[in-house]
Amino acid sequence: MAQLPDGFLNPLILALAPDALGRPKAQSAVNAHLGLLQEARGCGHTFDDIAKALEGGGVRGRDGGVMSAKSLRKMVERAEKAREKALKEAAVAPSAAVHGFWSKPGAVLPRPFEAAVNPASQPPAGGSSLSGTDIGKLKQIFAEAKANKSIAASLK
């Protein structure tokens, strides 16, 4: 198979580049760039071609050695399974996938029609669900913090 075009895998190569904390997890980079790898495979490139291109870009495996085509294939398979699972879960329960500041995990969010009919089913305009008591407590905390800051400034 022909060589991959120059720069085609650069986003993945950059995602796999070591930083101050060390080498990033290859699986998370493959998950994030699955479309790029699928595009390369769709153009007829093998995992060997892709692994060689990654090696040319300086990408190393978990142990610091060259990333093999077999390990790359396994990571792509895991990423595809994870994406399929996520899409299946989103199709089954779309409301469970959306969480706002005011919603609880697993809560069924109101439908737009219900919100139009019953405005009380929506969060307040600012997106906050704080009660008047909570807001009062927050104001008190901020006032105390401001007072403490002014005391500290006068001691300097």
Cβ(23)–Cβ(17) below 8 Å: no
Which range of residues forms the domain containing residue 81?
10-92
pTM over 0.75: no
- Shared domain for 21 and 72, answered yes or no, is yes
120: amino acid identity, one letter: A
Return the minimum-mean-pLDDT range out of 9-23, 99-113, 123-137.
Answer: 99-113
Residue 101 pLDDT greater than 50, yes or no: no
C-alpha span between 37 and 41 (Å, rounded): 6
Q: How far apart are the first and last CA of the chain?
A: 72
**Is 115 a member of any domain?**
yes
The count of domains in the chain is 3
- Shared domain for 49 and 21, answered yes or no, is yes
**Rounded mean pLDDT of 53-75?**
89
- Shared domain for 19 and 84, answered yes or no, is yes
- Shared domain for 31 and 70, answered yes or no, is yes
pLDDT of residue 49: 92
Return the minimum-mean-pLDDT range out of 8-12, 88-92, 105-109.
Answer: 105-109
pLDDT of residue 124: 53
- Shared domain for 87 and 99, answered yes or no, is no
Taking alpha carbons only, the member of 13, 15, 81, 80 closest to residue 52 is 13
- Shared domain for 74 and 108, answered yes or no, is no
3-state secondary structure of 156: coil
